[in-house]
C-alpha cells in the first residue's frame, strides 16, 4: 500500500518522479526511463510545458493530424485535429472532399453572448430587493470599468445584468445574471473578475441600503462564476445539394440514400440512447479542433450536451431533410471559443494550428469547429446507412492492432494487403500474423 506524502508540490520535478517510481512501480528505473522519454529535448520548450499545470512530470502526447479540402463559405481550409481515435481524421477529410465538389460547407454565427452569474441568498422582501437592484445596476457596471476598459476598446464588455428570482427552486436563492461580449477571447478570466466585483458591490451597497432591515442587509454571496452553458453563443453549419448529386457509386440509389440518412437523423432526434452516440460522433470532430486550437474541450462538451437536452429530452445536435428535391444536413451548436489569450499565445503547436487556419477570429473559429462536427456526423451516418460503421473504422484500426501484436514492417504490409478484402478484427489479425510467422523461415 502506497504512503501519503506531505509537501509533494514543493518537491523538485526529479524528486516527484523518483517518489512516484519508487512507490508505484516494481521496476522504478524502467518507469523513470519511460517518463523521461517523453520530455522535450529543447529545455526551454519543456519548461514552458511544465508550467502549464501543477506537479508536471512529463508530456502526454496526442497525434496531431490534418483534414484537407474543407471549403467553408467559399474559402479553403486544412483543419488541424488533435485526437487519438482511429478514423476520425480520415472520415472528416473524406466528408470534406465529398462536399467540396457540391458547393462546400456554409456556416453562420448566430450570436456570441457569454453568461456569468452571482449566486446569492437573500431572506427578505422580494419587492425591496427588486427596487434595490434597480438602484445599484448602474453602479455594478460603472464599478467594473477598470476591468472592462480594454475589452470595450475591442468591441466587447458587459451587455446586461438581470436580477433573477429562483426562490421557487431554493428558498432565498437569487442571481445576478450577467451577459458579456468577449470578442476574440474565450473570456473566462474576464467574466469571473467582473462577477467577483459585482458580488463585492452587491454586499457593500446592501449593507448601507436604508430600506433594508438588518437581516435583509446580510446578503450571502454563495459564489460568482461564469457558465459554460452558452445558448446565446451559437453557430450553424450546413451542407446541401440536389438529391441526385448524392450518388457515390456504391450501388445505392441517391434517393434511397437520402431517405435512409434523414431517417437515421430522425431516430437520433427521438431516441436518447441513439442520440448520445450520434452526438459523440459529432464531438469527435469538434473536440479534435478545439484541442488543436488550445481551447477548453471540457467546457465545450458540457455546454453542447446541455444544449442537446435544453427542451427536456436529450436529442440530436444535427438535423436533415429533403425538400423539393434538395437534401440539407445541418447543425446548430453553442461554442464559446477564443483565439487570443490562454494557450493560444503560449503553446507553439496551438499557434501553428491557428496560423494554418489563417489566424481566425473567434467567430471564424466557431464556424470551422461547427463544420468539423457536421463533417464527422455526415461521414458516420453515410457509413452507417450504407456499408456499416465497422468496415471503415476497423480498416483504420488495423495499424493499432498490428502495433499491439509487435508486427514488423513486412508483416504490416502483408496484413494491409490481406485485409483489403477480409474483415478486420483483433482475433482475425492475430491469427493472420501467427500464420505468416509460422510459414516464415528464420534467417
Known catalytic residues are 85, 280, 296, 393
**In this structure, are strands 173-181 and 157-165 parallel, antiparallel, or unpaired?**
antiparallel
CA distances from 105 to 31, 123, 291, 346, 391 (A): 47, 53, 22, 31, 26
* Residue 158 · residue 180 · CB < 8 Å: yes
How far apart (Å, rounded) are the C-alpha atoms in residues 437 and 434?
Answer: 5
Helices (H), 9-121: 13-24, 28-37, 43-50, 88-100
* 8-state DSSP, 268: H
How far apart (Å, rounded) are the C-alpha atoms in residues 258 and 105?
Answer: 18
Helix, strand, coil percentages for the chain (3-state, nearest 5) = 50, 20, 30
How far apart (Å, rounded) are the C-alpha atoms in residues 222 and 225?
Answer: 10
* 8-state DSSP, 246: G
How far apart (Å, rounded) are the C-alpha atoms in residues 140 and 154?
Answer: 21
Contacting residues for 180 by C-beta, under 8 A, at least 6 apart? 113, 114, 115, 116, 156, 157, 158, 159, 187, 190, 191, 194
How far apart (Å, rounded) are the C-alpha atoms in residues 118 and 185?
Answer: 21
How far apart (Å, rounded) are the C-alpha atoms in residues 212 and 123?
Answer: 11
Amino acid at each position: 500500500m502506497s504512503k501519503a506524502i506531505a509537501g509533494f508540490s514543493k518537491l523538485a520535478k526529479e524528486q516527484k518522479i523518483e517518489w512516484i517510481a519508487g512507490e508505484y512501480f516494481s521496476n522504478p528505473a524502467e518507469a523513470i526511463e519511460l517518463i523521461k522519454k517523453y520530455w522535450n529535448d529543447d529545455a526551454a520548450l519543456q519548461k514552458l510545458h511544465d508550467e502549464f499545470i501543477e506537479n508536471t512530470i512529463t508530456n502526454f502526447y496526442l497525434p496531431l493530424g490534418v483534414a484537407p479540402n474543407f471549403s467553408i463559405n467559399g474559402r479553403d481550409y486544412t483543419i488541424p485535429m488533435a485526437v487519438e481515435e482511429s478514423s476520425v481524421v480520415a472520415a472528416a477529410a473524406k466528408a470534406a472532399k465529398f462536399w467540396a465538389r457540391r458547393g462546400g460547407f456554409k456556416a453562420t454565427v448566430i450570436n456570441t453572448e457569454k453568461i456569468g452569474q452571482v449566486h446569492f441568498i437573500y431572506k427578505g422582501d422580494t419587492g425591496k430587493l427588486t427596487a434595490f437592484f434597480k438602484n445599484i445596476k448602474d453602479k455594478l457596471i460603472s464599478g467594473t470599468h477598470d476591468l472592462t476598459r480594454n475589452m470595450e476598446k475591442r468591441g466587447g464588455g458587459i451587455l446586461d445584468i438581470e436580477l433573477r428570482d429562483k426562490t421557487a427552486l431554493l428558498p432565498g436563492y437569487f442571481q445576478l445574471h450577467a451577459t458579456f461580449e468577449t470578442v476574440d477571447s474565450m473570456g473566462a478570466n474576464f467574466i469571473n473578475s467582473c462577477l467577483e466585483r459585482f458580488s463585492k458591490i452587491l454586499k457593500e451597497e446592501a449593507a448601507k441600503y436604508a430600506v433594508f432591515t438588518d437581516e435583509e442587509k446580510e446578503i450571502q454571496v454563495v459564489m460568482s462564476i461564469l457558465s459554460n452553458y452558452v445558448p446565446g453563443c451559437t453557430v450553424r453549419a450546413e451542407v446541401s445539394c440536389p438529391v441526385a448529386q448524392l450518388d457515390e457509386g456504391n450501388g445505392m440509389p441517391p434517393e434511397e440514400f437520402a431517405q435512409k440518412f434523414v431517417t437515421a437523423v430522425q431516430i437520433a432526434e427521438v431516441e436518447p440512447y441513439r442520440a448520445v452516440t450520434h452526438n459523440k460522433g459529432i464531438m469527435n470532430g469538434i473536440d479534435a479542433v478545439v484541442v488543436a486550437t488550445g481551447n477548453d474541450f471540457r467546457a465545450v462538451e458540457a455546454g453542447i450536451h446541455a444544449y442537446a437536452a435544453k427542451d427536456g429530452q436529450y436529442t440530436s445536435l444535427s438535423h436533415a431533410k429533403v425538400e423539393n428535391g434538395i437534401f440539407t444536413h445541418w447543425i446548430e451548436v453553442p461554442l464559446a471559443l477564443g483565439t487570443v489569450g490562454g494557450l493560444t499565445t503560449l503553446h507553439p503547436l496551438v499557434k501553428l494550428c491557428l496560423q494554418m487556419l489563417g489566424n481566425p477570429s473567434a467567430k471564424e473559429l466557431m464556424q470551422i469547429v461547427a463544420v468539423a462536427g457536421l463533417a464527422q456526423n455526415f461521414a458516420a451516418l453515410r457509413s452507417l446507412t450504407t456499408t456499416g460503421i465497422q468496415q471503415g473504422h476497423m480498416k483504420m484500426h488495423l495499424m493499432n492492432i498490428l502495433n499491439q501484436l509487435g508486427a514488423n514492417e513486412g508483416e504490416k504490409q502483408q496484413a494491409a494487403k490481406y485485409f483489403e478484402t477480409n474483415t478486420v478484427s483483433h482475433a482475425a489479425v492475430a491469427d493472420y500474423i501467427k500464420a505468416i510467422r509460422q510459414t516464415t523461415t528464420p534467417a
